[in-house]
Amino acid sequence: MKSGCLNVYSGNRLILSQAVCTYKLNGNNNSVREIKTCRFQQRPVKDSFGKGIMTVITLSNSPAKTEQVFWTYPDKEFFFLQTRLIGKNLSTNDIVPLAGSLPQQQGDWRSLFVPFDNDTFISYDSKILKPPFRNMSSEVSVTYDDQTRNGLVIGSIEHELWKTGIETAWLADQTPGIKVRAGFTDAGITRDDMHHGLVRGDTICSPRIFIGYFDDWRSGMEDFAIASRKAEPAFVFNWTEATPLGWNSWGVMQDRINFDKAIGVANFFADTLKAFRLGGTAFIDLDSFWDKMVRNHTDFSRLKAFADSCLAKGLQPGIYWAPFTDWGWKSGPGRRAEGGDYTFGELWTKTLNGYHDIDGARALDPTHPGTLRRIDYFIDKFKACGFKMIKIDFLGHAAAESTHFHDTTVTTGMQAFRKGMEYLVNRLDGQMLIYAAISPSLATGRYAHSRRIACDAFKTIDHTHYTLNGVTYGWWQTYLYNYIDADHVVLDTEKDGVNRARFLSSVITGTCFTGDDFSLQGQWSARAQQLFQHPEILAVIKNGKAFRPLDCKPGKEAAEIFTRKIGAHYYVAIFNYGKPVKNYAIDFNRLGIPFKRAECTDLLTRGRSNAYSMLHVSLPGEDATLIRISQTQN
C-alpha cells in the first residue's frame, strides 16, 4: 500500500489494477503515489445500504492529508469510494478518486457514453472498446460485454456539489484504462464553456463513487440508480397516486395554442377518450406559449377558467415553465423581471465569456433574489389558478458554472442547481406533480416525480428510434424517479405501424402523454380511440416502470427488443425501425423467462399462440408489437 496504488477484485477476477488517486490542490497537481506515511483503519457501519465495513486509508503527504474511504457490504456486488483532502484553507476543482487499468478482455466489450442531460438531441453511445479509443461519459459509465452481459459500472452517486466525468481510454501501454474526475466540464456534454467552480474548506470530499462488477450490467445500472436515490433521497414529496398519463400541447399545437383549442382538447378527453385514464383521471397540460392566454401579461383569469373547466370534467390541469431562463435577453438587460424590482441583466449567470446561452435562452443565477422573486410570482399564480401539474424545462441552465454567484457561499454549478431547485420545490408546496423536461439526468432525481428520457420527439419512426436510444441505455432511471416518459406521442397522419411504434415506445418507457390537436377531428382522433384505450396496455402503463433492453447494438442505435416482468407475466416489446419485414426468433433463456411452455398474446391484435422455449414473431417494417408471455401447464 506504500505505493499508493490499489487493485480491485470481484471474487478472484481482477477488474481494476494499479488504481491511484490524484488531485489539484491550491493550483498544484498532487498524487497519492507521493506519500510519507500510511494508516489503515476499519469500523462497522449501518446505513441506508445495510450493514457493512468502512475502511479508511490515510495517506499523509504534503500539502494535505489524503483519506481514501471505502464502504463495503457483504451482500452487495458493489462498494463506494470517496477521497477526502484534509488541511487548512484548501481549494480545488479537480479530484480524481480513481484512475487505473482495466484488464484486457475477450468478447464484444464496449464502453457507454452517458449524457449529462437530454438537451440538443444528444444520444447515448455504446462505443466498441478497441484502440484507438476514448470515451468521456458524464456521472456514470459501464464497460460491458454485450454477449455475456458481464460489466463494470462506475459512477458518482452524489450530485449536489460536483460534476463528475468517467473517462475510458486506451493507455500508452496499450491497455484500456478508466479515470473518474470530480470537477469535470465540457461544452459538448455539461454545456459549460468554463472550468468547474472551486470547492474550498479545511476538508474537501469527492462525491462517493459507486464501483461494481456484475454478471449482468443491466442489473448493475439498476443498482447504481437505486444507490443514487438512497444517497440523495428525494427532496420532492413521494408520488403515491396513479401513474400519470394525459396530453401536452407541444406535440402539435405549439405556438398556435389558445383558450378555445385547449378547451376543445379537454372536451375530447371528457367525451370521446373516456377510458384513457389511470386513477380515474388524466392530465391536460399546457406547454410553452400558454402566456398567449394572459391578458396584458398580468391577467391570468383565462388560465384559471381553463383549469376550472378541466377539474369540472374530472381532468387534471397542467402548466409549463422554465424557471431559470431569460428568453427575451436580446431585448437588453434593463427589462424588469417579474415579481420584484430587479432587472434581468442583474439575474443573468456570469461566465468567463460573458453569459451562459444555450437553446436561445440565457441562464439566470439560481441564487439571485430576483430569480427567487420571479419563482414566487409565477408559482403563486399557477397555484391560484388551480394547476395540478407543472412541466419544468431547461433546468440545465441552473447548473451552469459561473465566475461568481449572488450567494457567495455557492461556488459550483451543482450547488447553484440545488439551491434553485430546492427553492422551487418548496414554493410548489406539494401541490403539483412535477415533471422535468430538459434537465440533468441524475441530479434532477431529488426534485421531480417524472422526467423525459430524451429530447423532443413527435411522430415519425425516426423519433421513436431516437427516444428508444434513451430507453435502451437510460431505462435504469426508472429507479431514480417515480416515472420516466417518452415525451408527447403524436399520431397525426402517419401509418398505422408508425403510430403503434410511437405509442409503444411511450408505454415501455413508463407512462404516456399524447400530443395531437384533439380540438380538431382527423385520422388521429380515431386512432387515439383505438390505441389509447386498450385495458391490457393501460395495465402495463399502470405498472409505471421502464422495460429493459434485451440486446444493444454499438453506436447510437436503439435496441429492438425490450422486456419486463409484471406480476406473473413477462412482456416483450419488439420494434422494427427499418422498412422490410423482419422475423424474430428469441430464446426464452435470453429473455430471462424461467419456463418452457407459454401462451403468447399480442396485446394490440389480441392474437394468441403457444410457444416452447422460443418466441417467434414476424413484424412488418416501421411497426411494433407488445407480447404478453404467460406460463401454461400443458
Cell of 444: 434532477
Q: What is the mean pLDDT of residues 330-338?
A: 96
Domain stops at, among 186, 207, 231: 231
Contact between residue 163 and residue 183 where contact means Cβ atoms under 8 Å apart: yes
Say whether both 226 and 249 belong to one domain: no
Q: What angle do CA 399, 403, 408 make, to 5 degrees?
A: 85
Q: Into how many domains does the chain fold?
A: 2
Say whether both 23 and 115 belong to one domain: yes
Q: What is the mean pLDDT of residues 349-368?
A: 97
Q: Is the pLDDT of residue 382 over 70?
A: yes
Contact between residue 424 and residue 447 where contact means Cβ atoms under 8 Å apart: yes
Q: Is the pLDDT of residue 546 over 90?
A: yes
Say whether both 200 and 310 belong to one domain: no
Cell of 120: 440538443
Which pTM was predicted? Answer: 0.96
Domain stops at, among 174, 199, 231: 231
Please state, as a whole number, how many other Cβ atoms lie within 10 Å of the Cβ of residue 427: 17
461 domain residue, yes or no: no
Closest Cα to residue 246, out of 287, 283, 285, 277? 283
33-55 per-position pLDDT tens digit = 555 567 889 999 999 999 999 99
Say whether both 220 and 262 belong to one domain: no
Say whether both 261 and 339 belong to one domain: yes
The more confidently predicted of residues 1 and 430 is 430
Output the pLDDT for position 565.
97
619 domain residue, yes or no: no
Show the beta-strand stretches assigned E in 194-280. 199-205, 209-214, 245-248
Residues ≥6 apart with Cβ < 8 Å to 2 = 35, 38
Q: What is the mean pLDDT of residues 122-149?
A: 93
192 domain residue, yes or no: yes
Output the pLDDT for position 634.
61
Average pLDDT score over the chain? 95
| DSSP code for 613 | S
Output the pLDDT for position 227.
98
569 domain residue, yes or no: no
Output the pLDDT for position 75.
93
Say whether both 211 and 325 belong to one domain: no
Output the pLDDT for position 35.
56
Output the pLDDT for position 105.
76
Domain stops at, among 181, 204, 231: 231
What is the separation of C-alpha 564 from the centre of its chain, rounded to a whole number of angstroms? 19
Cell of 393: 424545462
Q: Is the pLDDT of residue 422 over 70?
A: yes
Mark 550-562 as b/e (b = at least 16 C-beta within 10 Å). bebeeebbbbbbb
Cα(406)–Cα(361) distance, rounded to whole angstroms? Answer: 20
Closest Cα to residue 405, out of 445, 365, 373? 365
Say whether both 220 and 349 belong to one domain: no
451-486 per-position pLDDT tens digit = 999 999 999 999 999 999 999 999 999 999 999 999
Please write down the long-range contacts of 103-109, taking CB distance under 8 Å and 24 or more positions apart: 103/14, 103/15, 103/17, 103/175, 104/175, 104/176, 105/129, 105/145, 105/176, 107/145, 107/147, 107/148, 108/145, 108/146, 108/147, 109/143, 109/144, 109/145
Q: Largest Cα–Cα distance of the chain, in whole Å? A: 77
Cα(259)–Cα(306) distance, rounded to whole angstroms? Answer: 7
Say whether both 28 and 128 belong to one domain: yes
Domain extent, residue 275, equals: 242-451
Residues ≥6 apart with Cβ < 8 Å to 398 = 323, 324, 363, 364, 366, 416, 417, 420, 421
269 domain residue, yes or no: yes
Say whether both 93 and 187 belong to one domain: yes
Say which CATH number the domain at 49 has.
Answer: 2.70.98.60
Burial of 336 (0-12, 13-18, 19+ CB in 10 A): exposed
Cα(508)–Cα(468) distance, rounded to whole angstroms? Answer: 9
Output the pLDDT for position 1.
46
Say which CATH number the domain at 417 has.
Answer: 3.20.20.70
Say whether both 334 and 216 belong to one domain: no
Output the pLDDT for position 5.
83
Per-residue pLDDT band for 106 (boundaries 50, 70, 90) equals: confident
Q: What is the mean pLDDT of residues 235-263?
A: 97
40 domain residue, yes or no: yes
What is the separation of C-alpha 604 from the centre of its chain, rounded to a whole number of angstroms? 29
The more confidently predicted of residues 426 and 606 is 426
Say whether both 42 and 183 belong to one domain: yes
% the chain with pLDDT above 70:
98
484-517 per-position pLDDT tens digit = 999 999 999 999 999 999 999 999 999 999 999 9
Residues ≥6 apart with Cβ < 8 Å to 312 = none
Q: Is the pLDDT of residue 252 over 80?
A: yes
Show the beta-strand stretches assigned E in 223-369. 245-248, 283-285, 316-321, 325-326, 350-351, 354-355, 357-358, 361-363
Contact between residue 192 and residue 141 where contact means Cβ atoms under 8 Å apart: no
405 domain residue, yes or no: yes
634 domain residue, yes or no: no
Residues ≥6 apart with Cβ < 8 Å to 509 = 453, 467, 471, 475, 484, 485, 486, 546, 547
Output the pLDDT for position 296.
87
Per-residue pLDDT band for 235 (boundaries 50, 70, 90) equals: very high
Say whether both 208 and 289 belong to one domain: no
Output the pLDDT for position 26.
80
Q: What angle do CA 394, 375, 452 make, to 5 degrees?
A: 30
Output the pLDDT for position 34.
56
